[in-house]
Chains A and B, each alone.
Chain A
Amino acid sequence: MNFSIVIDNIPLLLDGLWVTLHLISLSLVLGFMLALPLALIRHFKVPVANQLIWGFTYFFRSTPLILQIYLIYYGTGQFSWIRDSWMWVILEKAYLCGLIAFTLNTAAYTTEIFRNALDTMRKNEIEAAIAFGMSTWKAYTRIVIPNSLRRSIPPYSNEVIFLLHSSSIASAITITELTGAARYLYSKYYDPFTPFLAVSLVYLVIVFLLTYIFKLLERRFLSYLSINHESTKKLGDFGNP
Protein backbone atom coordinates (compact mmCIF):
# COMPACT_ATOMS: atom_id res chain seq x y z
CA MET A 1 0.00 0.00 0.00
CA ASN A 2 1.28 3.39 -1.00
CA PHE A 3 -1.01 6.11 0.26
CA SER A 4 0.78 8.89 -1.61
CA ILE A 5 -0.80 7.53 -4.82
CA VAL A 6 -4.22 8.34 -3.39
CA ILE A 7 -3.20 11.67 -1.85
CA ASP A 8 -1.44 12.90 -5.01
CA ASN A 9 -4.48 12.08 -7.11
CA ILE A 10 -7.33 13.31 -4.94
CA PRO A 11 -8.70 15.65 -7.68
CA LEU A 12 -8.84 12.77 -10.19
CA LEU A 13 -10.62 10.50 -7.72
CA LEU A 14 -13.08 13.23 -6.72
CA ASP A 15 -13.85 13.83 -10.40
CA GLY A 16 -14.44 10.09 -10.77
CA LEU A 17 -16.74 10.08 -7.74
CA TRP A 18 -18.65 13.01 -9.20
CA VAL A 19 -19.11 11.23 -12.56
CA THR A 20 -20.30 8.05 -10.79
CA LEU A 21 -22.77 9.98 -8.65
CA HIS A 22 -24.38 12.01 -11.40
CA LEU A 23 -24.36 9.10 -13.85
CA ILE A 24 -26.38 6.95 -11.46
CA SER A 25 -28.63 9.74 -10.16
CA LEU A 26 -29.55 10.83 -13.69
CA SER A 27 -30.24 7.27 -14.83
CA LEU A 28 -32.24 6.53 -11.66
CA VAL A 29 -34.45 9.59 -12.17
CA LEU A 30 -34.94 8.93 -15.90
CA GLY A 31 -35.41 5.19 -15.32
CA PHE A 32 -38.01 5.86 -12.62
CA MET A 33 -39.96 8.20 -14.90
CA LEU A 34 -39.95 5.56 -17.64
CA ALA A 35 -40.76 2.67 -15.32
CA LEU A 36 -43.93 4.03 -13.72
CA PRO A 37 -46.02 4.34 -16.93
CA LEU A 38 -44.55 1.09 -18.30
CA ALA A 39 -45.49 -0.76 -15.10
CA LEU A 40 -49.04 0.60 -15.28
CA ILE A 41 -49.37 -0.58 -18.89
CA ARG A 42 -48.12 -4.02 -17.79
CA HIS A 43 -50.49 -3.98 -14.81
CA PHE A 44 -53.56 -3.16 -16.93
CA LYS A 45 -52.39 -5.64 -19.60
CA VAL A 46 -52.91 -3.13 -22.44
CA PRO A 47 -52.88 -5.31 -25.58
CA VAL A 48 -49.72 -5.20 -27.77
CA ALA A 49 -48.02 -2.56 -25.56
CA ASN A 50 -47.93 -5.06 -22.68
CA GLN A 51 -46.19 -7.69 -24.82
CA LEU A 52 -43.73 -5.13 -26.21
CA ILE A 53 -42.80 -3.91 -22.73
CA TRP A 54 -42.48 -7.51 -21.54
CA GLY A 55 -40.01 -8.08 -24.39
CA PHE A 56 -38.09 -4.94 -23.42
CA THR A 57 -37.79 -5.89 -19.74
CA TYR A 58 -36.99 -9.52 -20.57
CA PHE A 59 -34.16 -8.48 -22.91
CA PHE A 60 -32.61 -6.01 -20.49
CA ARG A 61 -32.93 -8.27 -17.47
CA SER A 62 -31.52 -11.41 -19.08
CA THR A 63 -28.43 -9.96 -20.80
CA PRO A 64 -25.32 -8.57 -19.08
CA LEU A 65 -25.16 -4.79 -18.79
CA ILE A 66 -21.73 -4.72 -20.44
CA LEU A 67 -23.27 -6.18 -23.63
CA GLN A 68 -26.01 -3.55 -23.54
CA ILE A 69 -23.39 -0.78 -23.23
CA TYR A 70 -21.33 -2.26 -26.10
CA LEU A 71 -24.47 -2.61 -28.25
CA ILE A 72 -25.30 1.07 -27.81
CA TYR A 73 -21.74 2.43 -28.00
CA TYR A 74 -20.09 0.15 -30.60
CA GLY A 75 -23.12 -1.59 -32.14
CA THR A 76 -24.99 1.44 -33.43
CA GLY A 77 -21.96 2.49 -35.50
CA GLN A 78 -22.66 -0.42 -37.87
CA PHE A 79 -25.56 1.40 -39.54
CA SER A 80 -24.78 4.28 -41.87
CA TRP A 81 -28.34 5.65 -41.50
CA ILE A 82 -27.64 6.16 -37.81
CA ARG A 83 -24.17 7.62 -38.43
CA ASP A 84 -25.64 10.12 -40.92
CA SER A 85 -28.51 11.21 -38.69
CA TRP A 86 -28.80 13.58 -35.72
CA MET A 87 -28.65 10.55 -33.40
CA TRP A 88 -24.94 10.18 -34.04
CA VAL A 89 -24.22 13.39 -32.10
CA ILE A 90 -25.50 11.49 -29.04
CA LEU A 91 -24.28 7.98 -29.83
CA GLU A 92 -20.65 8.90 -30.52
CA LYS A 93 -20.26 10.19 -26.95
CA ALA A 94 -19.31 7.52 -24.44
CA TYR A 95 -20.95 9.28 -21.50
CA LEU A 96 -24.34 9.59 -23.21
CA CYS A 97 -24.22 5.95 -24.39
CA GLY A 98 -23.52 4.88 -20.82
CA LEU A 99 -26.37 7.05 -19.58
CA ILE A 100 -28.78 5.52 -22.15
CA ALA A 101 -27.72 1.97 -21.26
CA PHE A 102 -28.01 2.54 -17.50
CA THR A 103 -31.37 4.30 -17.86
CA LEU A 104 -32.88 1.51 -19.99
CA ASN A 105 -31.39 -1.16 -17.71
CA THR A 106 -32.71 0.31 -14.48
CA ALA A 107 -36.05 1.13 -16.15
CA ALA A 108 -36.43 -2.57 -17.06
CA TYR A 109 -35.79 -3.79 -13.51
CA THR A 110 -37.85 -1.00 -11.91
CA THR A 111 -40.81 -1.66 -14.24
CA GLU A 112 -41.01 -5.24 -13.01
CA ILE A 113 -40.63 -4.16 -9.35
CA PHE A 114 -43.52 -1.68 -9.68
CA ARG A 115 -45.66 -4.09 -11.71
CA ASN A 116 -45.23 -6.73 -9.04
CA ALA A 117 -46.24 -4.24 -6.33
CA LEU A 118 -49.30 -3.12 -8.35
CA ASP A 119 -50.35 -6.72 -9.03
CA THR A 120 -50.06 -7.72 -5.37
CA MET A 121 -52.11 -4.76 -4.10
CA ARG A 122 -54.61 -6.02 -1.54
CA LYS A 123 -58.07 -6.25 -3.09
CA ASN A 124 -59.94 -5.00 -0.02
CA GLU A 125 -58.14 -1.65 -0.14
CA ILE A 126 -59.32 -1.10 -3.72
CA GLU A 127 -62.81 -2.24 -2.73
CA ALA A 128 -62.78 0.23 0.17
CA ALA A 129 -61.76 3.03 -2.20
CA ILE A 130 -64.56 2.15 -4.62
CA ALA A 131 -67.04 1.88 -1.75
CA PHE A 132 -66.11 5.47 -0.91
CA GLY A 133 -67.32 6.39 -4.38
CA MET A 134 -63.86 6.95 -5.88
CA SER A 135 -63.49 6.57 -9.64
CA THR A 136 -60.85 4.12 -10.88
CA TRP A 137 -58.59 7.08 -11.70
CA LYS A 138 -58.97 8.53 -8.21
CA ALA A 139 -58.54 5.14 -6.52
CA TYR A 140 -55.30 4.59 -8.45
CA THR A 141 -53.78 8.05 -7.99
CA ARG A 142 -54.75 8.29 -4.30
CA ILE A 143 -54.54 4.71 -3.04
CA VAL A 144 -53.09 2.07 -5.34
CA ILE A 145 -50.07 3.87 -6.83
CA PRO A 146 -48.85 5.53 -3.59
CA ASN A 147 -49.28 2.27 -1.68
CA SER A 148 -47.50 0.24 -4.38
CA LEU A 149 -44.62 2.71 -4.45
CA ARG A 150 -44.25 2.38 -0.68
CA ARG A 151 -44.16 -1.40 -0.88
CA SER A 152 -41.57 -1.12 -3.67
CA ILE A 153 -39.01 0.58 -1.40
CA PRO A 154 -37.20 -2.60 -0.22
CA PRO A 155 -36.70 -4.16 -3.69
CA TYR A 156 -36.00 -0.71 -5.16
CA SER A 157 -33.21 -0.09 -2.63
CA ASN A 158 -31.56 -3.29 -3.90
CA GLU A 159 -31.89 -2.01 -7.46
CA VAL A 160 -30.22 1.31 -6.53
CA ILE A 161 -27.23 -0.47 -4.95
CA PHE A 162 -27.11 -2.84 -7.94
CA LEU A 163 -26.97 0.16 -10.29
CA LEU A 164 -24.22 1.80 -8.21
CA HIS A 165 -22.15 -1.39 -8.60
CA SER A 166 -23.00 -1.61 -12.29
CA SER A 167 -21.84 1.95 -12.88
CA SER A 168 -18.25 0.64 -12.59
CA ILE A 169 -18.82 -1.04 -15.99
CA ALA A 170 -18.91 2.42 -17.58
CA SER A 171 -15.10 2.33 -17.33
CA ALA A 172 -15.17 -0.30 -20.13
CA ILE A 173 -16.15 2.40 -22.65
CA THR A 174 -13.53 4.94 -21.50
CA ILE A 175 -15.76 6.83 -19.04
CA THR A 176 -13.49 7.93 -16.17
CA GLU A 177 -15.83 7.38 -13.25
CA LEU A 178 -14.61 6.03 -9.91
CA THR A 179 -13.48 2.62 -11.21
CA GLY A 180 -12.14 4.23 -14.38
CA ALA A 181 -10.01 6.57 -12.26
CA ALA A 182 -8.67 3.59 -10.27
CA ARG A 183 -7.83 1.72 -13.48
CA TYR A 184 -5.95 4.80 -14.76
CA LEU A 185 -3.95 4.97 -11.50
CA TYR A 186 -3.19 1.26 -11.76
CA SER A 187 -1.79 1.64 -15.27
CA LYS A 188 0.19 4.74 -14.24
CA TYR A 189 1.84 3.34 -11.07
CA TYR A 190 1.51 -0.41 -11.72
CA ASP A 191 0.15 -0.81 -8.19
CA PRO A 192 -3.21 -2.63 -8.13
CA PHE A 193 -3.70 -2.62 -4.36
CA THR A 194 -3.74 1.05 -3.40
CA PRO A 195 -6.12 2.46 -6.04
CA PHE A 196 -8.52 -0.51 -6.17
CA LEU A 197 -8.73 -0.87 -2.37
CA ALA A 198 -9.13 2.89 -1.87
CA VAL A 199 -11.96 3.04 -4.39
CA SER A 200 -13.57 -0.10 -2.89
CA LEU A 201 -13.72 1.76 0.40
CA VAL A 202 -15.50 4.69 -1.28
CA TYR A 203 -18.10 2.30 -2.78
CA LEU A 204 -18.58 0.68 0.63
CA VAL A 205 -19.23 4.07 2.23
CA ILE A 206 -21.78 4.97 -0.48
CA VAL A 207 -23.50 1.57 -0.05
CA PHE A 208 -23.73 2.04 3.73
CA LEU A 209 -25.10 5.57 3.28
CA LEU A 210 -27.70 4.36 0.76
CA THR A 211 -28.70 1.46 3.03
CA TYR A 212 -29.12 3.91 5.91
CA ILE A 213 -31.22 6.31 3.83
CA PHE A 214 -33.48 3.51 2.63
CA LYS A 215 -33.86 2.23 6.22
CA LEU A 216 -35.09 5.70 7.19
CA LEU A 217 -37.45 5.77 4.20
CA GLU A 218 -38.81 2.34 5.13
CA ARG A 219 -39.37 3.47 8.70
CA ARG A 220 -41.18 6.56 7.46
CA PHE A 221 -43.30 4.96 4.73
CA LEU A 222 -43.63 1.29 5.65
CA SER A 223 -44.02 1.42 9.43
CA TYR A 224 -47.73 0.66 9.09
CA LEU A 225 -46.81 -2.76 7.68
CA SER A 226 -44.40 -3.76 10.46
CA ILE A 227 -45.50 -6.20 13.15
CA ASN A 228 -44.38 -3.94 16.00
CA HIS A 229 -46.58 -1.09 14.90
CA GLU A 230 -49.26 0.09 17.34
CA SER A 231 -52.17 -0.49 14.99
CA THR A 232 -51.21 -4.10 14.22
CA LYS A 233 -50.20 -5.08 17.74
CA LYS A 234 -53.70 -5.87 18.94
CA LEU A 235 -54.43 -7.92 15.83
CA GLY A 236 -51.31 -9.92 16.53
CA ASP A 237 -52.44 -10.64 20.07
CA PHE A 238 -55.68 -12.07 18.77
CA GLY A 239 -53.87 -14.03 16.10
CA ASN A 240 -51.54 -15.80 18.52
CA PRO A 241 -53.46 -17.17 21.51
Chain B
Amino acid sequence: MEKFLEYLPLVLSGTWITISVSVLSLFIAVVLGLLGAFGKLWGNPATKRICTIYTTLIRGVPDLLLILLIFYGGQIGINYITEFFEIDYINISPFISGVLTIGFIYGAYMVETFRGAILAIEQGQLEAGHSFGMTNLTLFRRITFPLMVKHAIASFMNNWLVLIKSTALISIVGLEDVVRKSNMAGQITKQPFTFLLTAAMIYIVITSLSLWVIRSLEKKYQVIE
Protein backbone atom coordinates (compact mmCIF):
# COMPACT_ATOMS: atom_id res chain seq x y z
CA MET B 1 0.00 0.00 0.00
CA GLU B 2 2.83 2.41 0.87
CA LYS B 3 4.53 1.57 -2.42
CA PHE B 4 1.22 2.07 -4.21
CA LEU B 5 0.84 5.59 -2.82
CA GLU B 6 4.51 6.33 -3.56
CA TYR B 7 4.16 5.50 -7.26
CA LEU B 8 0.58 6.70 -7.77
CA PRO B 9 1.71 10.24 -8.79
CA LEU B 10 3.82 8.63 -11.55
CA VAL B 11 0.72 6.90 -12.94
CA LEU B 12 -1.30 10.10 -12.64
CA SER B 13 1.34 12.10 -14.55
CA GLY B 14 1.00 9.46 -17.31
CA THR B 15 -2.76 10.01 -17.27
CA TRP B 16 -2.18 13.67 -18.04
CA ILE B 17 -0.05 12.70 -21.08
CA THR B 18 -2.75 10.28 -22.26
CA ILE B 19 -5.41 12.99 -22.03
CA SER B 20 -3.33 15.66 -23.78
CA VAL B 21 -2.32 13.31 -26.62
CA SER B 22 -5.96 12.27 -27.04
CA VAL B 23 -7.35 15.82 -27.09
CA LEU B 24 -4.66 17.16 -29.45
CA SER B 25 -5.06 14.25 -31.88
CA LEU B 26 -8.84 14.64 -31.74
CA PHE B 27 -8.36 18.23 -32.87
CA ILE B 28 -6.23 17.15 -35.86
CA ALA B 29 -8.69 14.34 -36.66
CA VAL B 30 -11.63 16.77 -36.72
CA VAL B 31 -9.82 19.18 -39.05
CA LEU B 32 -8.78 16.35 -41.41
CA GLY B 33 -12.23 14.79 -41.12
CA LEU B 34 -14.03 17.98 -42.13
CA LEU B 35 -11.61 18.63 -45.01
CA GLY B 36 -11.94 15.03 -46.20
CA ALA B 37 -15.73 15.01 -45.95
CA PHE B 38 -16.04 18.27 -47.90
CA GLY B 39 -13.53 16.97 -50.45
CA LYS B 40 -15.39 13.70 -50.87
CA LEU B 41 -18.78 15.42 -51.25
CA TRP B 42 -18.04 18.60 -53.15
CA GLY B 43 -14.47 18.26 -54.46
CA ASN B 44 -13.33 17.78 -58.04
CA PRO B 45 -12.68 14.19 -59.21
CA ALA B 46 -8.98 14.32 -58.22
CA THR B 47 -9.77 15.52 -54.68
CA LYS B 48 -12.47 12.88 -54.35
CA ARG B 49 -10.01 10.16 -55.37
CA ILE B 50 -7.32 11.35 -52.93
CA CYS B 51 -9.87 11.41 -50.09
CA THR B 52 -11.12 7.92 -50.94
CA ILE B 53 -7.57 6.53 -51.05
CA TYR B 54 -6.84 8.18 -47.68
CA THR B 55 -9.89 6.74 -45.93
CA THR B 56 -9.60 3.26 -47.47
CA LEU B 57 -5.88 2.78 -46.87
CA ILE B 58 -5.81 4.16 -43.33
CA ARG B 59 -8.84 2.20 -42.18
CA GLY B 60 -7.41 -1.01 -43.65
CA VAL B 61 -4.06 -1.00 -41.83
CA PRO B 62 -3.63 -1.63 -38.06
CA ASP B 63 -3.08 1.50 -35.95
CA LEU B 64 0.08 0.04 -34.40
CA LEU B 65 1.68 -0.54 -37.79
CA LEU B 66 1.02 3.08 -38.83
CA ILE B 67 2.43 4.29 -35.52
CA LEU B 68 5.62 2.25 -36.08
CA LEU B 69 5.87 3.40 -39.71
CA ILE B 70 5.43 7.10 -38.95
CA PHE B 71 7.60 7.06 -35.81
CA TYR B 72 10.60 5.18 -37.25
CA GLY B 73 10.10 6.25 -40.87
CA GLY B 74 9.46 9.87 -39.91
CA GLN B 75 12.75 9.98 -37.99
CA ILE B 76 14.68 8.84 -41.06
CA GLY B 77 12.82 11.35 -43.22
CA ILE B 78 13.68 14.16 -40.82
CA ASN B 79 17.32 13.02 -40.75
CA TYR B 80 17.47 13.42 -44.54
CA ILE B 81 16.05 16.94 -44.29
CA THR B 82 18.38 18.03 -41.49
CA GLU B 83 21.40 16.62 -43.36
CA PHE B 84 20.35 18.32 -46.57
CA PHE B 85 19.97 21.75 -44.98
CA GLU B 86 22.97 21.09 -42.70
CA ILE B 87 21.03 21.91 -39.55
CA ASP B 88 21.29 20.22 -36.17
CA TYR B 89 19.93 16.72 -35.63
CA ILE B 90 16.25 16.84 -34.61
CA ASN B 91 14.95 13.98 -32.47
CA ILE B 92 11.32 13.23 -33.21
CA SER B 93 9.47 12.78 -29.90
CA PRO B 94 6.92 10.03 -29.31
CA PHE B 95 4.51 12.75 -28.15
CA ILE B 96 4.55 14.74 -31.39
CA SER B 97 4.66 11.75 -33.73
CA GLY B 98 1.95 10.09 -31.63
CA VAL B 99 -0.37 13.09 -31.87
CA LEU B 100 0.24 13.38 -35.62
CA THR B 101 -0.25 9.65 -36.24
CA ILE B 102 -3.40 9.21 -34.15
CA GLY B 103 -4.81 12.45 -35.60
CA PHE B 104 -4.03 11.23 -39.11
CA ILE B 105 -5.61 7.79 -38.49
CA TYR B 106 -8.78 9.03 -36.83
CA GLY B 107 -9.10 11.79 -39.42
CA ALA B 108 -9.94 8.99 -41.86
CA TYR B 109 -12.69 7.72 -39.55
CA MET B 110 -13.96 11.27 -39.02
CA VAL B 111 -14.26 11.79 -42.80
CA GLU B 112 -16.85 9.00 -42.88
CA THR B 113 -18.55 10.38 -39.76
CA PHE B 114 -19.01 13.88 -41.19
CA ARG B 115 -19.78 12.66 -44.71
CA GLY B 116 -22.49 10.35 -43.39
CA ALA B 117 -23.89 13.13 -41.21
CA ILE B 118 -24.10 15.57 -44.14
CA LEU B 119 -25.74 12.91 -46.33
CA ALA B 120 -28.30 12.27 -43.58
CA ILE B 121 -29.59 15.85 -43.78
CA GLU B 122 -33.02 16.04 -45.38
CA GLN B 123 -32.97 17.75 -48.78
CA GLY B 124 -36.13 19.69 -47.85
CA GLN B 125 -34.20 21.58 -45.15
CA LEU B 126 -31.65 22.81 -47.71
CA GLU B 127 -34.33 23.65 -50.27
CA ALA B 128 -36.20 25.65 -47.64
CA GLY B 129 -33.00 27.59 -46.95
CA HIS B 130 -32.49 28.26 -50.65
CA SER B 131 -36.04 29.51 -51.09
CA PHE B 132 -35.43 31.95 -48.24
CA GLY B 133 -32.73 33.44 -50.45
CA MET B 134 -29.78 32.26 -48.32
CA THR B 135 -26.36 32.34 -49.98
CA ASN B 136 -24.41 29.09 -50.02
CA LEU B 137 -22.25 30.28 -47.14
CA THR B 138 -25.21 31.27 -44.97
CA LEU B 139 -26.93 28.03 -45.84
CA PHE B 140 -23.87 26.09 -44.68
CA ARG B 141 -23.46 28.13 -41.50
CA ARG B 142 -27.11 28.24 -40.46
CA ILE B 143 -28.48 24.91 -41.72
CA THR B 144 -25.99 22.34 -43.00
CA PHE B 145 -23.44 22.68 -40.19
CA PRO B 146 -25.83 22.55 -37.17
CA LEU B 147 -27.71 19.60 -38.67
CA MET B 148 -24.43 17.88 -39.49
CA VAL B 149 -23.33 18.24 -35.86
CA LYS B 150 -26.59 16.68 -34.71
CA HIS B 151 -26.27 13.67 -37.01
CA ALA B 152 -22.55 13.26 -36.30
CA ILE B 153 -22.62 13.16 -32.47
CA ALA B 154 -23.10 9.40 -32.01
CA SER B 155 -20.42 8.37 -34.50
CA PHE B 156 -18.10 11.20 -33.42
CA MET B 157 -18.19 10.14 -29.79
CA ASN B 158 -17.71 6.50 -30.78
CA ASN B 159 -14.55 7.56 -32.65
CA TRP B 160 -13.40 9.47 -29.58
CA LEU B 161 -13.83 6.40 -27.35
CA VAL B 162 -11.74 4.29 -29.77
CA LEU B 163 -9.19 7.10 -30.14
CA ILE B 164 -8.41 7.35 -26.39
CA LYS B 165 -7.79 3.61 -26.25
CA SER B 166 -5.59 3.82 -29.37
CA THR B 167 -3.23 6.32 -27.74
CA ALA B 168 -2.18 3.46 -25.44
CA LEU B 169 -0.35 1.97 -28.45
CA ILE B 170 2.08 4.90 -28.60
CA SER B 171 3.53 3.61 -25.32
CA ILE B 172 5.15 0.89 -27.48
CA VAL B 173 7.38 3.51 -29.17
CA GLY B 174 8.14 5.15 -25.81
CA LEU B 175 5.37 7.64 -25.01
CA GLU B 176 5.31 8.09 -21.24
CA ASP B 177 1.54 7.68 -21.03
CA VAL B 178 -0.56 6.00 -18.36
CA VAL B 179 0.09 2.51 -19.79
CA ARG B 180 3.89 2.88 -19.87
CA LYS B 181 4.05 4.59 -16.48
CA SER B 182 1.86 1.98 -14.80
CA ASN B 183 3.89 -0.80 -16.42
CA MET B 184 7.10 0.82 -15.13
CA ALA B 185 5.66 1.31 -11.63
CA GLY B 186 4.52 -2.31 -11.65
CA GLN B 187 7.99 -3.58 -12.54
CA ILE B 188 9.79 -1.41 -9.95
CA THR B 189 7.43 -2.33 -7.10
CA LYS B 190 6.94 -5.96 -8.26
CA GLN B 191 3.19 -5.28 -8.16
CA PRO B 192 2.35 -5.23 -11.88
CA PHE B 193 -1.28 -6.29 -11.40
CA THR B 194 -2.05 -3.48 -8.93
CA PHE B 195 -0.66 -0.75 -11.17
CA LEU B 196 -2.00 -2.09 -14.48
CA LEU B 197 -5.43 -2.42 -12.87
CA THR B 198 -5.13 1.18 -11.67
CA ALA B 199 -4.44 2.27 -15.25
CA ALA B 200 -7.45 0.24 -16.39
CA MET B 201 -9.61 1.99 -13.77
CA ILE B 202 -8.39 5.38 -15.01
CA TYR B 203 -9.48 4.44 -18.54
CA ILE B 204 -12.87 3.30 -17.20
CA VAL B 205 -13.32 6.69 -15.50
CA ILE B 206 -12.40 8.57 -18.71
CA THR B 207 -14.75 6.40 -20.80
CA SER B 208 -17.61 6.72 -18.32
CA LEU B 209 -17.23 10.51 -18.20
CA SER B 210 -17.21 10.60 -22.03
CA LEU B 211 -20.35 8.46 -22.17
CA TRP B 212 -22.04 10.83 -19.73
CA VAL B 213 -21.14 13.81 -21.95
CA ILE B 214 -22.46 11.95 -25.04
CA ARG B 215 -25.82 11.32 -23.38
CA SER B 216 -26.27 14.97 -22.37
CA LEU B 217 -25.13 16.23 -25.81
CA GLU B 218 -27.55 13.88 -27.53
CA LYS B 219 -30.35 15.15 -25.34
CA LYS B 220 -29.43 18.75 -26.13
CA TYR B 221 -29.29 18.25 -29.90
CA GLN B 222 -32.51 16.21 -29.91
CA VAL B 223 -34.25 19.61 -29.73
CA ILE B 224 -33.25 20.43 -33.32
CA GLU B 225 -35.56 18.24 -35.30
Choose among A168, A192, A200, A208 the residue that contacts B76 (Cβ–Cβ < 8 A): A192
Choose among B69, B166, B183, B187 the residue that contacts A192 (Cβ–Cβ < 8 A): B69
- Docked-complex contact A67 and B200, CB < 8 angstroms: yes
- Docked-complex contact A74 and B60, CB < 8 angstroms: no
Residue of B nearest to A60 (CB): B200
Residue of A nearest to B76 (CB): A192
Q: Which residues of A contact B165 (CB under 8 A)?
A: 62-65
Q: Which residues of B contact A65 (CB under 8 A)?
A: 165
Within 8 Å of chain A (Cβ to Cβ): is B196? yes
B: which residues have CB within 8 A of A?
Answer: 57, 60-66, 68-69, 72-73, 76, 161, 165-166, 168-169, 171-172, 179, 183, 186-187, 190-194, 196-197, 199-200, 203-204, 207-208
- Docked-complex contact A192 and B72, CB < 8 angstroms: yes
Residue of B nearest to A196 (CB): B69
- Docked-complex contact A182 and B65, CB < 8 angstroms: yes
The size of the chain A interface, using a CB distance under 8 A, is: 39
Q: Which residues of B contact A196 (CB under 8 A)?
A: 65, 68-69, 72-73
- Docked-complex contact B62 and A179, CB < 8 angstroms: yes
- Considering only residues 180-218 of chain A, those with a C-beta below 8 Å from chain B are 182-183, 186, 192-193, 196-197, 199-200, 203-204, 207-208
- Docked-complex contact A169 and B169, CB < 8 angstroms: yes
Within 8 Å of chain B (Cβ to Cβ): is A79? yes
Judged by DSSP, the binding face of B is helix
- Docked-complex contact B200 and A59, CB < 8 angstroms: yes
- Docked-complex contact B168 and A64, CB < 8 angstroms: yes
Per-residue CB proximity of A21-58 to B under 8 Å, as 1/0? 00000000000000000000000000000000000001
Q: Which 8 A-B pairs have the closest CB atoms?
A: A192-B72, A64-B168, A62-B207, A75-B193, A165-B62, A168-B62, A64-B165, A78-B193
Within 8 Å of chain B (Cβ to Cβ): is A236? no
- Docked-complex contact B73 and A203, CB < 8 angstroms: no
Residue of A nearest to B166 (CB): A64
Give 9 CB contacts A-B under 8 Å: A66-B169, A66-B171, A71-B197, A75-B192, A78-B190, A79-B193, A168-B63, A192-B72, A192-B73
Contacts A62-B204, A66-B179, A204-B60; A77 near B72 (Cβ below 8 A): no
Judged by DSSP, the binding face of A is helix
Q: Which residues of A contact B190 (CB under 8 A)?
A: 78
A240 to B79, CA, bound (A): 63
B76 to chain A, nearest CB (A): 6
Q: Which residues of A contact B65 (CB under 8 A)?
A: 168, 179, 182, 196, 199-200, 203
- Docked-complex contact B68 and A192, CB < 8 angstroms: yes
- Docked-complex contact A203 and B60, CB < 8 angstroms: yes
A75 to B204, CA, bound (A): 18
Known A-B contacts: A63-B200, A168-B65, A179-B62. Give 11 more (CB < 8 A).
Answer: A62-B203, A63-B165, A64-B203, A67-B199, A75-B197, A76-B193, A78-B192, A78-B193, A179-B64, A179-B65, A192-B72
A183 to B194, CA, bound (A): 30
Contacts A62-B207, A74-B183, A204-B57; A171 near B64 (Cβ below 8 A): yes
